[in-house]
Amino acid sequence: MNKTVIHHCHLHERLLIDKRSAALKFSGPRRSSENFTYLIKMQSLRLCRTRGQQYGLQRFGLPFLSRSCCKALPMRPIKRGASARFQSTSSSIASALSSSQLHATTPDTRVAEDLFDRCITCNSVLHEDQESMTPGAKYHSRKGKRHDTAKMRTTRRFQELFESLDEDKRSFILQEAERFGAMPDSAFDEGPQRFKWFEDESESLSLQKKKEKDERKAYLHDHMCQRCLHIKWNKPVSLRQPFANRQEYMHYLGKVIPPGSTIVHVIDAKDYPLTLDKELLDLAKLQKCRLLFVVHRSDKIHRAMDKTDRAWQYFVDDVNERLGPIDPENIILTSVYNRASMRELFAKLGKYNYLVGFTNAGKTRIMSALDTIHPGPTLWRDKQGAYKDSFSFFPWQTQALRTHEFDMSKFITDLPSAPEPDFGGFHNIQQARLREIDAGRPFIKKGSSFNTTRLVADKKREVVSLSGIVVVERPEDPRQHLISWPVGGTMIRNKVYSSLQKVKELTSVQENNESIQRFVLKHEAQGHYDMKEVTVGKGGLQIAIRGYGAAHFAISGPIPDEGVKIKVHYLKGTRIEERRDLRLIYETRKKQEEKEQIAKSQR
């Protein structure tokens, strides 16, 4: 029976939670039943106490119940020794939760959302459904026993042969095994070693691994829905957005986010400004909420700590230019690999916080990183670290909100991502690549196959392909060459092709005696490119691609004052946008400051 033991720091009492029967058993010092009332929660709970004898569970949105509401829970005392145990039925819980006194707007009062077992990845309620790819549908089809490995068959044959020998022969073999097993291995020189096959109580290593793997699989079957399991095992799954359109999403935010709370807008730095949501500013004014801009993955722009101030000033200026006057204190640069930035973010959070943004921005990863710094009482940590070290493996994998408590004083709610037209272009990409993109991890470099530093298109009709998503043609002037390189820890793999038609036709690329599968689905790339013209000046141009990163382009050769126009082809549904170069802005500002200092000194 699955039980969890929670020790309360003030009452020093033990709570045994039986999630299946939804019964709470209390053991501790003898106290009168009139002064204690308990509310059952099936996933996780924390005992709260006030002077007015109002007791409730404030974990995951459980409220402080008033005295009149607590009377709706009939308790049946069962005396055993020096302790009293109370047990409540699930029907009384349902009647109490349906009381009008439970207001479902803040995390303190969100009760019905977390009364059921949920998928540890998408947070959908586990249910029985015929459609297997529905979020929350339980996984039923389990395989039988696996076939024996070659090592297991060899071990079994040796054991049968060993048991068929006489007693004196077996004892002689055991003595020889002990004597030779204690001798040092001259090949590896690892010191004394002993063979363990002659011990009766020891298991084969393959059997131990098989047992551990079966236990892990059984655990995942019980705590993850079938859709999330298919995503984890790289099986084909279609994209599924939690909301049908933008209007439904904004209505959901206005219903869930209460007035006076803090809206944490998570922005991805690598494809900024495509993840900047301008409508959240109007929502914050309407709900009278504080809007906090969190630029996540700032290490993708500047990994050096001494250059972080440059990036912060860049985002402050750019956000103020796009949205109007914004308080610079409400713009924070964070990275999960920089604990100082996560502590700064936690210090600026309010009591009730809501993570809002587009998919692949890093909302779930931020909550997981904060949990390592400020751990709170939660059941997710008990599930083998499934929540503590988790992030979404797939676009829009988080299908329902999840509330987590930090330091018993702050609540952070991870909300589903905003919908995007044409799935934001993610439907063009192979599913095996989507996991690597959405996790925010750079591709493994194999020689010059991935993330090459700099490419030059200097021949006629040559193009620069950014993973097949965006294709940029070189200028028509033969004296002008196109130079390209990825910005920061981008997910883009750039390569020079002889023409645009080659990008559409090739299914794989042969490099360094390795066949690299194409990034984009072939049937999506056939004639599904849109085109726009951009102007590249003397300082170059950066193009941000939604979900993948940015690339910098420059022209080598004579450049007129009005710049050079080049053609950019991008897959339909993919969002691209030009952005200013951080390095160029910093150098320009530095020159202006030097001129001002010289002018002041001359005065």
CA 399 to each of CA 96, 393, 419, 523: distance values in angstroms, whole numbers, following the listed order: 27, 13, 12, 29
Same domain, 265 and 399: yes
For residue 519, is it within any domain?
Answer: yes
Residue 127 within any structural domain of the chain: no
Residues 282 and 370 in one domain: yes
Mean pLDDT by 10 residues, the chain (603 residues): 33 31 34 33 33 32 36 35 32 35 44 61 81 81 57 77 85 77 48 45 69 83 86 85 93 93 92 90 92 88 62 88 91 88 91 92 86 61 44 82 79 91 81 58 40 75 84 89 77 76 65 49 63 88 85 88 90 86 66 76 77
Q: Are residues 376 and 332 in the same domain?
A: yes
279 by DSSP, 3-state: which?
Answer: helix
What angle is formed at CA 495 by the lines to CA 563 and CA 298, rounded to 5 degrees? 75
For residue 229 the two structure tokens come to 């399991």
* Residues 410 and 447 occupy one common structural domain: no
Q: Residue 157's pLDDT is what?
A: 79
> Is residue 537 domain-shared with residue 468, that is, in the same domain?
yes
Point out the domain boundary residue: 77, 94, 111.
111
Query: 401 with 455, same domain?
Result: no
Neighbours of 589 (CB within 10 A): 14
In this structure, the answer to whether residues 393 and 501 fall within a common structural domain is no
Helices (H), 244-358: 246-256, 279-287, 308-323, 339-348
Same-domain pairing of 470 and 566? yes
Q: How many domains does the chain divide into? A: 3
Residue 207 lies in a domain: no
User: Of 65, 84, 111, at which residue does a domain stop?
Assistant: 111
Q: Is residue 227 part of a domain?
A: no
Q: Residues 545, 471: one domain?
A: yes
Comparing CA positions, the residue from 231, 244, 274, 246 lying closest to residue 547 is: 274
All residues at 6 or more sequence positions from 13 whose CB lies less than 8 Å from its CB, including other chains: 7, 26, 27, 28, 29, 47
Torsion angle of alpha carbons 57, 62, 67, 72, nearest 10°?
-100
Annotate 124-139 with b (16+ C-beta within 10 A) or e (fewer). Answer: bbbeeeeeeeebbbbb
Question: Is 389 inside any structural domain?
Answer: yes
User: Given this model, what pLDDT does residue 256 score?
Assistant: 92
Same domain, 481 and 557: yes
Is 139 inside any structural domain? no
What sections of 490-572 are H helices per DSSP? Answer: 500-505, 522-525
**Per-residue model confidence (pLDDT) at position 353:** 93
Query: Could you report how far apart the first and last alpha carbons of the chain are, in Å?
Result: 83
**Residue 80 and residue 11 share a domain:** yes
3-state secondary structure 480-492: CEEEEEECCCCCC
The answer to whether residue 396 is domain-embedded is yes
Three-class secondary structure assignment of 423-463 = HHHHHHECHHHHHHHHCCCCCCCCCCCCCCCCEEECCCCCE
Residue that is last in its domain, among 95, 111, 127? 111
Angle separating helix axes 150-163 and 205-223, nearest 10 degrees: 130
The answer as to whether 152 is a domain residue is no
And the tokens for 328? 């610079």
Q: 331-333 and 290-296 as β-strands: parallel, antiparallel, unpaired?
A: parallel
- For residues 321 and 362, state if they share a domain: yes
Residue 217: what pLDDT? 83
pLDDT at 261: 93
Residue 398 lies in domain: 246-419
